[in-house]
Structure 1
Amino acid sequence: MTSIITNNAASVALATLRSINDSLNTTNDRVSTGKKINSAADGAAYWNISTTLTSDNGALGAVKDAINLDMSSVKTTNTGLTQIMNSLNTIKQALVSAQSSTADRTSLQKNIANAVSDISSAASSAVVNGANWLSVDSSATGFNANKSLLANFSRASGVVTVGTTTLDTGAFAVYDAKTNGTATGTSSTIDTAVTAVATSASSGTGALTVAVGTGAGQLKGFMDTTYSISGTVNGTTVAAFTASIANIDISSLTSSDVDLAKLSSYMKIVSATIDGLQAGSTALGTTQTRLTSQQNFAQSLIDINTSSIGSLVDANMEEESTKLKALQTQQQLAVQSLSIANNSTSNIMTLFR
């Protein structure tokens, strides 16, 4: 039956066309954005999970950036410390050579002075983001030799928890601009080095005793530490005198037993300092390895989260492109069907002619 009031065929065709247009719009959105989930309306569960993972990636990225900054400080300090240890070895070699009766101590002193200058340059240049761990001022407001570095983090239930580790920069401080205080309470590495010096230097015939200096003005950097040297050499009493690596001067020394004993004391001070710095360098190397591991772990988590986000919200472009072509064809057919349904009522007019 044909009705001029209700066109059921046209209504069905229109509903079909409307449904096809909705599907076509959805597919067009997916093709243009590359995502099948663009908002909570597209799938609340998947959208919520992907949003949480995206937030986690932001936190992990911040952690990675912080580790990069800490890594730069550690690497720069370690590079400077390596250069300083090379210069100390140059001083040590000069002191060993100076113990020969035929040595040109004036020339060797020039080598020592150049090495001391190189140490100063390396220490002052080891700056990252305004911080220098080799040349410090422990009397500055807020100074803390213990540096807090990102060491680990965990992720549980979408929450990233950051852990830190402490690096004692006092273990390898080379210069300290501190203007007062005493040697008491200085870095344990320095104490260990000084103990080794005192023990080795006081043993054997004709050796001088070396001890860390005391009193106002005593500094705690390796190059600043003042040592008190005294003793008896083959029956000759040596008046106590002070020395530091920064002001060693062998140019006027002779081949006398007393002067050779002084050279030996200088050499042992430098040797003990190198041992102390090696311990500091080891701490830096261990910290660098740990930071590198955490940095790689952070990147792995970011990659895993990114992959998970993609599997939840990314559109299958091959599938969507195929669906788009099919929907476009269906749309054309629906339009033709609607046109036929709308024209069916006009055929009734022929019955009244």
Structure 2
Amino acid sequence: MASINTNIAAMTALRSLTATNNALTQTQDRISTGLRVGTAADNAAYWSIATTMRSDLSSLSTVQDALGLGAATVDVAYTAIDEAKNIVTKIKDKLVAAAQPGLDREKIQTEISELQAQLKGISDAASLQGLNWLSVDSSAAGYNATRQVVSSISRAGGTLSVQTISIDTSTMVLFDSNAAASGILDSTRNATTGAVDAAGTFTIATLDISALTDSAADLAILDGYIKGADLAITEMAAGATTLGAASARIEIQQSFVSSLMDAIEGGVSQLVDADMNEESTRLQALQVKQQLGIQALSIANSSSQSILSLFQ
């Protein structure tokens, strides 16, 4: 039946053309953005997962910055304690030289005093962003000898938690302002063994040989000083070892976080990125389909015009 009120062929052609135009618009959006899931409307599940993964990726970028700051702090402390160890070695050498009878120990003490001042300067200067692990005040509110370096994040059951690397700095403190505690260089030591002793009579930072003579008693004191300096070197070496191990662990963690970020970014890409080869092929097909749809609609509309010939 020919009708001017209802053109079934035109309506069918119009629906097909509208669907083609919608698909073409979607394909063009994917090509322009590079995403096949750009909004929750495209794929709610993938969009939600990708949003969480992008959030974690941003947090991991912050973790990288924290690891970089932690590595710098460890490097500053290591450099300072290593240099302090070298200076104490020089002090020990001068103490050994002073054990030779007849030497002017007052002049040797002048050199030792300069080295002692350098020790305090190095310790106080080993600070980064207000953090100093070598010169501390353990009586200060909130002081904790165990330092934390943010190392990563983990998500379990939808709950995000921050992971840290713990570094025990108690073995590397050189100076402690707390009267009830002491560091390696300002702790009192036993006059005979050189070991740390609360009832000791000297510290590496303040020992003075200028008044010592060649008497057996004074030479015994000098021997205690030498043993104390040697033990201090061993103690600082232990602290440097702790810092070295922490530095190596931070470096490994930095590499891991970088690889993890790459993996997450790849995962997000798999979920939401558009395959440009596929989209370009679809675009060409839809463009041809659109042209055919326009022609089909034109043909369907022209059929109504033929009814006019019946009334001529």
Q: Under a length normalisation based on structure 1, what TM-score does the superposition of the two structures give?
A: 0.77
- d(CA) in 2 for partners of 1:301, 1:155: 13
Conserved in 2, the CA contact under 8 Å of 1:52 and 1:158? no
Deviations along 1:266-296, one digit per CA (max 9) or x if unpaired, are 1111111111111112222222222332332
- d(CA) in 1 for partners of 2:149, 2:186: 27
* Structural RMSD (CA): 2.7
Deviates more, 1:147-156 or 1:332-341: 147-156
Question: What is the aligned partner in structure 2 of residue 229 from structure 1?
Answer: 191
- d(CA) in 1 for partners of 2:247, 2:129: 17
Q: 1:323 aligns with which of 264, 275, 282?
A: 282
Question: What is the aligned partner in structure 2 of residue 279 from structure 1?
Answer: 238
Question: What is the aligned partner in structure 2 of residue 49 from structure 1?
Answer: 49
Question: What is the aligned partner in structure 2 of residue 302 from structure 1?
Answer: 261
CA shift for structure 1 position 159: 4.3
Is 1:291 matched with 2:250? yes
CA shift for structure 1 position 84: 0.9
- d(CA) in 1 for partners of 2:9, 2:163: 69
Aligned length: 307
Q: Which amino acid aligns with 2:304?
A: T
Distance 1:324 1:247, change over 3 A: same
Question: What is the aligned partner in structure 1 of residue 224 from structure 2?
Answer: 265
- d(CA) in 2 for partners of 1:319, 1:8: 34
Q: Which amino acid aligns with 2:289?
A: Q
Conserved in 1, the CA contact under 8 Å of 2:27 and 2:279? yes
CA shift for structure 1 position 155: 4.4
- d(CA) in 1 for partners of 2:192, 2:44: 81
Q: Which amino acid aligns with 1:112?
A: I
Which structure 2 residues correspond to residues 189-268 of structure 1 after superposition, within 5 A? 219-227=181-189, 229=191, 242-268=201-227
Deviates more, 1:9-18 or 1:103-112: 103-112
CA shift for structure 1 position 152: 6.8
Question: What is the aligned partner in structure 1 of residue 139 from structure 2?
Answer: 139
- d(CA) in 2 for partners of 1:43, 1:152: 30
- d(CA) in 2 for partners of 1:228, 1:37: 73
Distance 1:126 1:308, change over 3 A: same
Question: What is the aligned partner in structure 1 of residue 39 from structure 2?
Answer: 39
Q: Which amino acid aligns with 1:221?
A: G
CA shift for structure 1 position 163: 4.2
Question: 3-state DSSP class of the match of 2:70?
Answer: helix
Q: Which amino acid aligns with 1:115?
A: L
**Kindly, what percent of the aligned residue pairs are identical?**
42
Gaps of 5+ in 2: 194-198
Question: What is the aligned partner in structure 2 of residue 206 from structure 1?
Answer: none
Deviations along 1:14-52, one digit per CA (max 9) or x if unpaired, are 111101110011001101111001122212232232223
